[in-house]
Amino acid sequence: MALALCIGLFLIWLWRPERQIKRHTENFFRAVEHKNWTAAADFIGSDYQDQWGDDRAQVLERMREGFQYVRGIHVSAFNVTVRVEGRRAEWTGGIWIDGPQSEVMELLKERVNSLTTPFELEWHRLSRKPWDWKLVRVSNSALEIPADAY
């Protein structure tokens, strides 16, 4: 009985929406770092749309193209807050990129690490399952990405 209670309490803690959003975001970043585009795609909702006009297919293609010349990238987050309202959650925080020196890496670091405004990642829960969250929007008012950047 005590074991069942401990497992139940652990699952309640594990499946809290705030914790799920933090874990999903961390795991999404790890998928990007490892260039595991199949895993990254699993985190992105079919209704994804970002401030730069990308839908799900376009953002995945931009990531593939943009990171193909980068080795050993590390993505970390800081000053993270998560706000959950029903089946919608917003992850807000700074993103820091690091990795071995190269021209492309320096460009990425210059563009992302210099931002003073936080990134906002909007997640939606698709079902009653506490782990069924998908990324549906990314924005950062200070980050400009030209439509013809890739």
Tell me the pLDDT tens digit for each residue of 17-54. 899 999 999 999 999 999 999 999 999 999 999 999 99
Q: Tell me the H-state helices in the chain.
A: 2-14, 17-33, 37-43, 56-67, 103-113
The reported pLDDT for the residue numbered 2 is 74
Do 138 and 119 form a contact (C-beta atoms < 8 A)?
Answer: yes
The reported pLDDT for the residue numbered 93 is 97
Report helix, strand and coil shares of the chain as percent, to nearest 5. Answer: 40, 25, 35
The reported pLDDT for the residue numbered 12 is 57
Q: In which residue are the tokens 């401030």 written?
A: 51
Q: How far apart are CA 111 and CA 86, in angstroms?
A: 34
- Per residue in 70-107, pLDDT tens? 889 999 999 999 999 999 999 999 999 999 988 889 98
Residue type, 49: Q
Do 58 and 70 form a contact (C-beta atoms < 8 A)?
Answer: no
Q: What is the DSSP letter of 60?
A: H
Q: How far apart are CA 134 and CA 25, in angstroms?
A: 10
